[in-house]
Amino acid sequence: MILYSPQDGLLTLHTAHTTYQMELEPHGFLRHLYYGARTDNADFRYLHRNYDRGYSGNPAELRNDRSFSVDTMPQEYTGFNAGDFRTPSLRAVHADGSYAADLRYAGHEIVNGKYALPGLPAAFDRDGNAMTLIITLKDTATPLQVRLYYGVFEELDVITRATEIVNGGTDAVYLEKAASACMDIPFGKWELLHFHGRHCMERQAERVPLGHNAQTVESRRGASSHHHNPFVILCAPDTREYAGECYGFMPVWSGNHKTEVETDYLGSVRVVTGIHDSQFRWKLEPGQSFYTPEVLLSYSATGFSTLSHNYHDMIRYHICRSQYVGKPRSILVNNWEATFFTFDTERLLRIAREAAKLGVDLFVMDDGWFGTRNDDNSGLGDWFVDERKLPGGLRPLIEGVKELGMKFGIWMEPEMVNEDSDLYRRHPEWVLRAPNRAPMYCRNQLVLDMSREDVRQYLYDCFSTLLRDNEISYVKWDMNRSVSDMYSNALPADRQGEAGHRYVLGVYDLLERLTQTFPDVLFEGCAGGGGRFDAGMLYYTPQIWCSDDTDAIERLAIQHGTSFGYPAFTMGAHVSACPNQQTGRVTSMYTRGVVAMSGTFGYELDLNRLSDSEKDEVRLQIDAFKKVEALIRDGIYYRLNELEEQEFYSVWEFAARDGSEALVNLVVKHVLANAPLCHVRLKGLDPAATYRVEGSDSVYSGAALMSGGYTFPMLWGDYPSMQLRFMRVG
């Protein structure tokens, strides 16, 4: 719901449980008033008082009113070099060389439905209930305009933000910063919860207090990165899973990003988020617009769990477009950790035969099937089948897999090229590479310039032919290096600052073409594991390989951190061999299965090497997962122990939306002698119903399980685990 009160100059956005209010201030400034728990019929102008603050200047028309300063005003979107000395949202260079933007209100419109962003992924209005507010701001001295877009998803408690910057003049303007959203929180004490990491250890939750300074969460690696996920949370010091205030900020963006959190000298907190301004300079020609990526905002007054549920449902219903969002996913086996590059048709079919016997649905062939690709030093870019490994091409292999009753999937890395490839030898100008400089290498590969139409057309032709000529049900889209040497041979010198942004737009364009041409193919995102796990990629790929680290105990922290913003059905999770190839850790097959069942379940090993007892356990795992797959995919996810308790054990739950059942999972990371008992309170049950633990005679009331909780028996050994399914019986 969007309300406008012309007599008061108030714009109010209501969702089911939140209110967002701003004021069209009499002098043309767009003042942010409130974002928090829903409050009907409230005018929050009373919260803000003006005082003379030293060294906080005054607009020219108010120079005699020293209490009025934009340097202390909460704002919706901030200009630059016009009196607000805090973090700006926009930095523009005009034709005369001046850096300035003094943005004032020039009008607004309220429309039914949800806005779209040209060339960018953005939330869509599936059910026709969303509304859009568009506010136009104009610079006081130039024809530069800024349009602020607000999308209101009332039932999900999510407000989207995006910005369009319009050059209404006759000379080019250079944008050196173009944030998607700014939000000022003038009162309260806050902490920052962010999700840092590295390759094989992504999205580690870290909670830090805010000081009187600026903190940034950012990536300059050309992708959202293993190192700093773009999703951040601002929370009160007393916020926990099921109590306390918190705000979420989730950019729908897969490239360089930057979220700045600044506490000013009065204790007000400003969050500015969007494209990273490092090596960004966009030439905005007269009459042209620049659109920023979207940001999903949400607020919870009842802890992190509610905030997570808001994002999970937003992604489920309004970000992921794939038909597979609401369908069972195939249980797959991937050959990578079984064979690496050393395979042929018969070796792959041996794995597939054993997989079929055990109940696997999908066989996926990973890296090494194309060009001359016997290691990672050659072949990328030559997307034709290596018939020395696969005589007769893919068809004999695919037919063999189909005869076993399974589907076939394939790995690809479209954005990369090796110098030792036919493609590079034909088109060295197609890579990102600064003139007269040796490039930086990673895995001995270079990055294709995805901003180029000819590059994208080549890749589309290669992969559309592959998918059209072969019965392929699944594609794993990988990206195995950070992007450096950002220089495009297709852009003039004064547009090189656009190369990084145009690269990501090009990736989106290719994904859009392929996913729309082949809607029945399930695309999984990957970037060395979880190096591009973001809402932008989820718009095109409904699941993403969560991490190259398949160690079950390491995966607990990775999946825990990921769950704060992203639903379980988006997380690729597999059972792998032990000792684990990343850590050398030995973990039971049962525990590996419990952890992998909290995502899109599969196997990453040579099933022929398992013992008979291990194969029996795989059969049991697959049977168990198929019984609860719909619950894991569509149920409500709960973290049952707090962040600080994760050192010793991890407990999480999937509850059916109708309260009919719940799946509770426990993994003990550190078994203690004479340990305290592990006790949790379940969530999402029907308090009036009775529940039985599957496989036992134990019966409990829903009220008891949610109020009194459940106490696990003492578990012993290395990394023990339990999985309990509570079924409603009355």
Question: Going by C-beta distance under 8 Å and a sequence separation of 6 or more, which residues neighbour residue 7?
Answer: none
Q: Are strands 282-284 and 173-185 parallel, antiparallel or unpaired?
A: antiparallel
Q: Give the tokens for residue 312.
A: 């999970």
3-state secondary structure of 568: helix
Say whether 614 is catalytic. yes
Closest CA to 322 of 59, 544, 5: 544
| CA pair distance 106, 179, nearest whole angstrom | 20
Alpha helices in 642-688 (DSSP H): none
In angstroms, rounded to a whole number, what is the distance separating the alpha carbons of residues 656 and 514? Answer: 34
Strand stretches in 188-320, DSSP E: 191-198, 201-209, 214-219, 232-235, 246-251, 257-263, 269-275, 282-284, 289-291, 295-300
Residues in the chain: 730
| Direct distance between the N- and C-terminal alpha carbons of the chain, in angstroms, rounded to an integer | 39
Asked if 455 and 503 count as a contact pair (C-beta separation under 8 A), the reply is no
Contact 184, 270 (CB under 8 A): yes
The overall longest dimension of the chain from CA atoms, in Å, is: 86
Report the side by side order of strands in the sheet with 690-693.
636-639, 649-655, 661-668, 721-728, 690-693, 699-701
Cα separation, 117 vs 635, in Å, equals 30
Q: Are 685 and 726 in contact (CB under 8 A)?
A: yes
- The residue type of 272 is V
196 contacts 206 by C-beta, under 8 angstroms: yes
DSSP letter, residue 530: B
CA distances from 537 to 223, 443, 530, 542, 598 (A): 10, 23, 11, 8, 20
SS3 344: coil
Relative to beta strand 416-417, strand 661-668 is: unpaired
Taking the C-alpha atoms of residue 349 and residue 363, their distance in angstroms, rounded to an integer, is 9
Phi–psi pair at 537, nearest 5 degrees: -70, -35
Residue of 313, 344, 429, 614 marked catalytic? 614
Q: Is 686 a catalytic residue?
A: no
Residue tagged active-site, from 184, 361, 498, 534: 534
* Active centre residues (catalytic): 534, 614
